[in-house]
Amino acid sequence: MKAAICREFNKPLHIEELTLAPPEEGEVRVKLAACAICHSDITYMDGGWGGTLPMVLGHEAAGVVVETGAGVHDIKMGDHVLVTLIRSCGHCADCENGKPYICSTPFPIDTDSRLTSVQGEKVGQGLRTGAFAEEVVVDQSQLVSLPKDLPLDAASLLSCGVITGLGAVVNTAEVDYGSSVVVIGCGGVGLNAVQGAALVNAAPIIALDLVEEKLVAARNFGATHTVDPRANNATEQVHALTHGRGADYVFVAAGSPKAFEQGLDLLAPSGTLVIVGMPPTGQKIAVEAGNIAGAAQKILGSKMGSTRLRIDIPKLVALYEAGRLKLDELITGRYPLDQINEAIDEVRADKALRNVIIFE
């Protein structure tokens, strides 16, 4: 099969032929229809999180099951499925406590990639998936069955960007009706935080981004107001829109320490800052600790929107089918695999919300 391989950080991906091993116990092979490009893939490509090369990145995917290993249940040949990086054992302390998105149980596939080059070298499955490829082999816990009439390009967005942004609002922070919300960073994840806030009837919903086109998109996804964070009076604008208090919830969807610090300035007393974006390793923020305690504020981390796949994905599919969840509107462009570097460059340059690789 063909795949796009990262062989050197800060360099374009290489399209190569790879061998994909058959699924082992508990694993499933999926022929992919679509894989969206996430900023996490780009951070890895740029060396922001380290890792061992070569690897195939890509983790926001959907396709059709073509083979199952022993012990696979609830997934069968021909199923249309969502492919995610969330891998869970179901029996560790975190899984038992309803937090499968932070399961730390090691899986054989973590250390023994199912990908091999034609030269016989092992090729890693980046972000537990390796979906910039025509097919993947992943653990069954990473899959959720989908209705067969659901477009797979739109469905692929559910596997990361949608659940990360919307889930941060609905699951992690549990935003209340009528609460004021600020979202910093209006890429794919931030826009889904905006539409998550709209779904729970937050008000006002204030979106901040450096790119005017993304602020326009934020309004289309439910923002009531937009602010350029570079404006000298950006903090004053947010406070004016929230009756002088600041926001009840601030979601930082940009992987920028400066954005995290600005988020604290926009927060109301007793408000909650939710860190969603993932900066490169080693970056830190400066916090006036006494102010956090004195104002009884909270800081939460949100990984993958605190998503429980088999509970949350059917709900999101139902919202999409009812016309209440925007997926198609997130897709800026569709590209074949051999044009993946052009698609990535557009995302990197903030010219796209989500570009999607379409497999024949």
| Beta carbons of 235 and 203 less than 8 angstroms apart | no
What percent of the chain stands above pLDDT 70? 100
Quick one: pLDDT at residue 79?
A: 98
| Beta carbons of 84 and 309 less than 8 angstroms apart | yes
Q: Number of C-alpha atoms within 13 angstroms, CB side, residue 14? A: 14
Pick the CATH number of 2-159+326-358 from 3.40.630.30, 3.90.180.10, 3.90.1200.10, 3.30.43.10: 3.90.180.10
At 91, is the secondary structure helix, strand, or coil?
coil
Q: Buried (b) or exposed (e) across 58-72, using 16+ Cβ within 10 A? A: bbbbbbbbebbbeeb
- What is the average per-residue pLDDT within 333-345? 98
Quick one: pLDDT at residue 102?
A: 97
Residue 100's identity, in one-letter code, is: P
Quick one: pLDDT at residue 244?
A: 97
- Tell me the C-alpha distance between 330 and 353, whole Å: 6
Quick one: pLDDT at residue 131?
A: 98
Question: Tokens 């910039």 sit at which residue?
Answer: 132
Q: Which residue, among 266, 262, 180, 259, has the nearest Cα to 223 in the 3D structure?
A: 180
| Beta carbons of 340 and 13 less than 8 angstroms apart | yes
Residues 6+ apart with CB under 8 A from 330: 157, 161, 162, 188, 191, 192, 353, 354
pTM over cut 0.95:
yes
Quick one: pLDDT at residue 152?
A: 98
At 16, is the secondary structure helix, strand, or coil?
strand
Q: Which residue, among 118, 186, 121, has the nearest Cα to 350 in the 3D structure?
A: 186
- What is the average per-residue pLDDT within 41-61? 97
Question: Tokens 């009756």 sit at which residue?
Answer: 243
The full set of domain ranges for the chain reads 2-159+326-358, 165-302
pLDDT confidence bin for 34, thresholds 50/70/90:
very high
Q: Residues 85-116: pLDDT tens digits?
A: 999 999 999 999 999 999 999 999 999 999 99
Pick the CATH number of 165-302 from 3.30.70.640, 3.40.1390.10, 3.40.50.2300, 3.40.50.720: 3.40.50.720
**DSSP strand pairing (135-139 vs 122-125):** unpaired
At 76, is the secondary structure helix, strand, or coil?
coil
Q: Which residue, among 125, 128, 194, 204, has the nearest Cα to 166 in the 3D structure?
A: 194
Where are the strands (E) in 110-236, listed by range? 115-117, 122-125, 135-139, 143-146, 181-184, 205-208, 225-227
- Tell me the C-alpha distance between 121 and 67, whole Å: 24
Quick one: pLDDT at residue 308?
A: 98
Average of per-residue pLDDT values in the chain: 97
- What is the average per-residue pLDDT within 157-182? 98
Q: Which residue, among 127, 169, 142, 23, has the nearest Cα to 88 in the 3D structure?
A: 142
- What is the average per-residue pLDDT within 232-236? 95
What order do you get walking across the sheet with 267-275 strand by strand? 225-227, 205-208, 181-184, 247-252, 267-275, 298-301
Q: Residues 252-277: pLDDT tens digits?
A: 999 999 999 999 999 999 999 999 99
Residue 152's identity, in one-letter code, is: L
- What is the average per-residue pLDDT within 234-240? 97
Torsion-angle region of 226 (φ positive above 0: left; ψ -120 to 50: alpha; else: beta): beta
Quick one: pLDDT at residue 360?
A: 79
